[in-house]
């Protein structure tokens, strides 16, 4: 269900696009401590939200 959506979000994040947070809709995802193409997770820029996306869980398809 939500997985395709999740996938396309990750694709955008990887390519450095700005993706608004789907939880709070105020912040946007920022790579945790590294560049977008190397990040293992992205955090919401809104400090009140703390939403986080982990990429590892998806990459594990390979
Ligand atoms: Zn958020």
Per-domain residue ranges for the chain?
A: 3-59
pLDDT value, residue 7:
75
Is the pLDDT reported for residue 19 higher than 50? Answer: yes
d(CA 24, CA 56): 23
Q: pLDDT band for 2, please (50, 70, 90 cuts).
A: low
Per-residue confidence (pLDDT) for residue 1, from 0 to 100:
46
The mean pLDDT of 24-51, rounded to a whole number, is 93
Half-sphere exposure (Cβ direction) of 55: Cα atoms closer than 13 Å = 19
Ligand 1 center–CA 52 separation, angstroms: 8
3-state secondary structure of 6: helix
Q: What is the CA(13)–ligand 1 centre distance, in A?
A: 15
Q: How many angstroms does the Cα of residue 3 sit away from the middle of ligand 1?
A: 18
Contact 27, 49 (CB under 8 A): yes
Distance 35 CA to ligand 1 centre (A): 19
Q: Which tokens go with 12? A: 């955008």
Distance between Cα 42 and ligand 1 center (Å): 11
Residue 42, φ and ψ in degrees, nearest 5? -125, 135
């Amino acid at each position: 269900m939500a997985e395709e959506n999740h996938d396309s979000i990750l694709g955008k994040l990887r390519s450095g696009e700005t993706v608004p947070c789907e939880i709070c809709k105020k912040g946007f995802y920022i790579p945790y401590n590294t560049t977008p193409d190397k990040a293992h997770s992205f955090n919401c820029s809104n400090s009140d939200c703390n939403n986080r996306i982990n990429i590892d869980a998806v990459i594990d398809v390979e």
